[in-house]
């Protein structure tokens, strides 16, 4: 079977019309070069060069193969250059899923800072609720996800924690609990309390956090059912209701008067981290960006949520 080195040998002899000079260019001995040409000629079934003591000339059959051989080597060199830059320059598209709250807050900062170092990086970000982000990882539609800790029984997934995000009550100025230093879950379940949206807990009720809610007998289907975070925040900003929401979600509110009130007895939090498939190898580009997330997620989280720090 012929190799790319045999084709290079053929091109070098055709270029120099000399076995000696061709061997020098390829840093091999003339006998080694002759063996490569002989192997190529036996594969083709035709003589590719006329050899005399005075000269080396390409045959008509060799001339037919010359242009195609040149294309093959040029394409290989172009591929080799592209492949080496593929990893070095991080030109591979990095596909990941993340929860709505992270997509609207921490992730833009992470991508901005990373792109300043790796200008060729390309991203495909799929924002979704926590359950959907998990599904995208399991279906291999993305390389990894930034979401809540999944159920420990899901052995195909691995979870690397990044930070804890406390569950709080976001209140508009005219709400009866606005001036509270804290509230309890019992307070929130009072039948007299109006204008509190519990719907956000439906999108959080998965994995380890779902078990926390069940253990504390905290309902997840009480009150208004608004599924999407942006709609919940619009209702909040319009002073239509208070919402039970993680601290990171409250940071997306555009209303500077909104207060984040701790919920106690018990204090609940969701654990945010990197989710990936155990059996799915990551590219160098993905590994590099994941390292960046590990190094800077907490910093970006604190900057984003500083206004609502406990």
- Quick one: tokens of 93? 């598209």
Rounded Cα distance between 134 and 207, Å, is 10
> Is there a contact between 19 and 30 (Cβ–Cβ < 8 Å)?
yes
> What pLDDT score does 90 carry?
47
Rounded Cα distance between 255 and 233, Å, is 9
For the chain, which residues score pLDDT lower than 70?
A: 85-92, 191-194, 198-208, 220-227, 309-310
Give the DSSP H/E element, type plus range, for residue 171: strand 157-171
Domain end residue (candidates: 58, 86, 114)? 86
Q: The domain spanning residue 52 has which CATH number?
A: 1.10.10.10
Query: How many domains, in total, are found in the chain?
Result: 2
Q: What totals of helices (H) and strands (E) does the chain contain, helices first? A: 13, 11
Regarding whether 159 and 249 lie in a shared domain, the answer is yes
Range of the domain at 73: 4-86
- Quick one: tokens of 9? 């040998």
Regarding whether 111 and 81 lie in a shared domain, the answer is no
Regarding whether 144 and 41 lie in a shared domain, the answer is no
> What pLDDT score does 153 carry?
81
Q: Which of 295, 287, 276 is nearest to 159 (CA)?
A: 276
Q: The domain spanning residue 104 has which CATH number?
A: 3.40.190.290
Domain end residue (candidates: 51, 86, 121)? 86
- Quick one: tokens of 14? 């055709």
- Dump pLDDT digits (tens) for 37-84: 999 999 989 899 998 878 899 999 999 999 899 899 899 888 887 777
């Amino acid at each position: 079977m012929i190799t790319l080195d045999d084709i290079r040998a053929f091109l070098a002899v055709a270029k120099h019309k000399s076995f000696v000079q061709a061997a020098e260019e390829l840093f091999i001995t003339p006998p080694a070069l002759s063996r490569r040409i002989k192997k190529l000629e036996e594969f083709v079934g035709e003589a590719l060069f006329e050899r005399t003591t005075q000269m080396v000339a390409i045959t008509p059959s060799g001339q037919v193969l010359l242009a195609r051989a040149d294309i093959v080597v040029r394409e290989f060199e172009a591929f080799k250059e592209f492949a080496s830059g593929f990893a070095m320059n991080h030109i591979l598209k990095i596909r990941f899923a993340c929860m709505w709250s992270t997509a609207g807050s921490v992730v833009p900062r992470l991508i901005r800072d990373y792109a300043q170092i790796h200008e060729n990086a390309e991203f495909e970000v799929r924002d979704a609720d926590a359950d959907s982000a998990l599904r995208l990882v399991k279906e291999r539609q993305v390389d990894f996800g930034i979401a809540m800790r999944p159920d420990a029984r899901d052995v195909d997934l691995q979870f690397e924690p990044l930070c804890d995000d406390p569950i709080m009550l976001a209140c508009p100025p005219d709400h009866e609990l606005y001036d509270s230093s804290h509230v309890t879950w019992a307070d929130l379940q009072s039948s007299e309390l109006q204008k509190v949206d519990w719907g956000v807990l439906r999108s959080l009720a998965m994995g380890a956090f779902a078990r926390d809610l069940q253990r504390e007998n905290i309902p997840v289907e009480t009150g208004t059912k608004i599924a999407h975070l942006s709609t919940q925040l619009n209702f909040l900003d319009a002073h239509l209701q208070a919402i039970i929401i993680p601290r990171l979600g409250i940071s997306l509110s555009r209303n500077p008067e909104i207060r984040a009130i701790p919920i106690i007895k018990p204090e609940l939090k969701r654990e945010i981290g990197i989710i990936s498939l155990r059996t799915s190898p990551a590219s160098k580009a993905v590994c590099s960006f994941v390292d960046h997330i590990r190094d800077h997620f907490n910093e970006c989280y604190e900057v984003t949520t500083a206004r609502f720090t406990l």
